[in-house]
Chains A and B, each alone.
Chain A
C-alpha cells in the first residue's frame, strides 16, 4: 500500500523561475522512510504541501489516499507532524499541552488524557511531564514534540529533523524511538535529516532530493550493498629490512596476484577479475561467496607465512554519504 504518492509535484514561490519542488514523483510505503537533501532542497516545502498547508503550483499528491488539494482536513486528522523549530509554549506543562493537542485533533477528553499519559511514557518523559516546558533541556523538548505528534494515534508521522541539537546519547535514544514508531508501533514514518549516517541506520527506504528534484528513491539496502572491496588490517613486527608489517603484508599479497593498495592503516583489496559480471561484482551470489572465501584463505595464508597477526578482514559496504556525494557531484 502506498502511504504518500506524488505525481509531478511542482512548487514555485511567487513569480521566480526557481522551483522549490520540480516535477517530483515519489511513492512512499510503510516503514521508516528517510528524506535526504541539503538545506533548501525542498524537504520542508514537500512536508507543508503534504499537510495541505501549501498549494502546489502543479502536479498532484495523495497522502493515505486523501487528495492534498481537496482533503486537507482529513489528512491533518490522521497525520502527526513534528516541526524542526521550537513549538512548545514555555508556560505550560507537557502533560497539559499534549492533552490539549489531542483534543484539538478530535479526541474526547477522557481518551485525550489517557493517550497523552501513554505517549509521554513511550517517549520517555516520566516525572518531567508535570514540569513547565520552559525549563526543559533540548532532549526533553524534542521528546515532548514527538509526543504531541503521536498523541492522536496518527496513521503517518512526519518528523522534520528530530535529532537536531541533541547530544550523542540523546540522538541514539531519539533514533531508536523513531525506529520503534516505524516498526513496533506500526506507524509509517517520513523522517528528514541532513545527517546521512543516521538515516542509513534507521530507515528502510531513502528518498534523496536535490534542488527540488528527485535524485534517487530506493530501499536503504541497495545503497549499502557490498562493494566487493575487502579491508585488511595486520599487526606484527617490522621485517629485518625495517619495513613495517602493513607494507610487508601488502607486498606478500601483491606477490600472490592480488590487486591492493594501502589506505591509512588498512590495506584495501580491489575485487579480483570476476568470473561472471564485468562491473567488478559477480552477478552470481554463490560465485561471490566462493570468491570471498578464497580471498580470505589467501589473506590468512599470507599473514601466517609472514608471522603477522590478522586484526580484521572486512568486506566494505557502501555508505549513503558516498552515494549522495557522487549523485550531487554528477
Chain B
C-alpha cells in the first residue's frame, strides 16, 4: 500500500462473510478452551489473574519443599505421596473452586451474557455442559500441576522412574475424579445465585466444612467400631472420597481414618459419587433450559 496515505481511513462498506463455518464440535472446543482460560483470568482484566495464580503458587509450595528436601537432604523418595497431596492442599483447592466457579456461571447470569450464549447455535443443554467441562479442565490443571512438579523434581533428585510412575498414575486418576466432583459442586453453587459472594461462601461451606465434618464423623465411627458404615461417609466430601477410591482401587496410602479396605466397596463408592454428580449435572442443564425460555 502507498506509504504517504497511511492516515486515511477508507470506508470499505459492509462485507459479508462467505467463508467456512465451523461445526458443533469445533464450537464446543473453542468455548471449552475460552472458559478454562478465563477461569485463570486470561482474556479478562489484569486483576482477574491475581487470585487464581496466587492460589496456584501457594499450592505448589509443599511440592517444591518436598523436592528441595529430597535433593538437598537426600531423604527417601517415600516422601513423595502423590495420592495424598490434594488432602494436604485441600484448603487452597477449595478456595480456587469457590472463587473461580462463579467466573463461569455466576458471571454469565449476573452480566446477562447468558442470553447471548443461549441465542447462539449450541443451545442451553450443551452450553451448560461445556461450562462445566471448562471448570473440570481448570481444576484439573490446578491439581495436576503440583503432582507433575513433584514427579519431575523427584526424578531430577534421583527417584526411580519405575517406582514413581505407578504411584503418579493412581494420583492422576484421583485428580480427574476430584476435578469432576469439585466442578459439579462448584457449578451447582455458582449457577444457583447471581451473587458471587454467596456462590463463594456456599462452595466453601460445602467443601471445607464438609471435609472437616466427614473427618470427625469417620473418627467417631472408628471408635464405635462401625468402620464399614463410616467408609460411606466419604460421600459427603470429594477429598475423602477420592482418597477412599485411591486407597481401595489403587492401593494408595490413605490420609483418613476409615478408608474402605476392599475394592468392591471402593468401586461402589465411586459409582455412587458419579451418580450423584450426574444428577447434579442434570439439574444444572434443566436450570439453563428454563433460563433460555425466560
Contacts and interface: CB of A to CB of B under 8 A. Distances in A.
A101 B292 contact: no
A152 B116 CA distance: 13
Nearest to A111: B19
A51 interface: yes
A92 B113 CA distance: 12
B24 to A, nearest CB: 8
Nearest to A108: B22
Interface in A140-194: 148, 152-153, 184-186
A48 B114 CA distance: 14
B294 to A, nearest CB: 8
Given A53-B119, A89-B113, A104 B14 contact: no
Contacts of A127: none
B111 to A, nearest CB: 5
Interface stretch (B27-35, B74-82, B237-245, B247-255): B27-35
Contacts of A92: 43-44
Interface stretch (A72-80, A205-213, A215-223, A294-302): A72-80
A53 B116 CA distance: 12
Nearest to B127: A104
Interface residues of A, number: 41
A115 interface: yes
Interface string B1-44: 00000000000011111011111101100110010000000011
B197 interface: no
Interface in A81-96: 81, 83, 85-92, 96
A107 B19 CA distance: 8
B113 A87 contact: yes
Contacts of B293: 48, 53-55
B51 interface: no
Most A CB within 10 A of own CB, among B30, B107, B116, B122: B116
Interface in B41-98: 43-45, 48
Contacts of B114: 87
Given A103-B30, A103-B31, A104-B31, A111 B17 contact: yes
B112 to A, nearest CB: 4
Nearest to B41: A91
A316 interface: no
A91 B44 contact: yes
Contact of A53 (B20, B27, B45, B118): B118
Given A76-B119, A88-B112, 19 more contacts: A48-B293, A76-B121, A76-B123, A77-B121, A81-B115, A83-B116, A86-B111, A87-B112, A89-B111, A90-B111, A92-B44, A101-B120, A103-B30, A105-B21, A106-B23, A106-B121, A107-B17, A153-B17, A186-B14
23 contacts: A53-B124, A53-B293, A73-B24, A76-B121, A83-B116, A85-B112, A85-B115, A88-B112, A91-B44, A91-B45, A92-B44, A101-B116, A103-B31, A103-B34, A105-B27, A105-B120, A106-B21, A106-B22, A107-B19, A108-B22, A111-B19, A153-B16, A186-B14
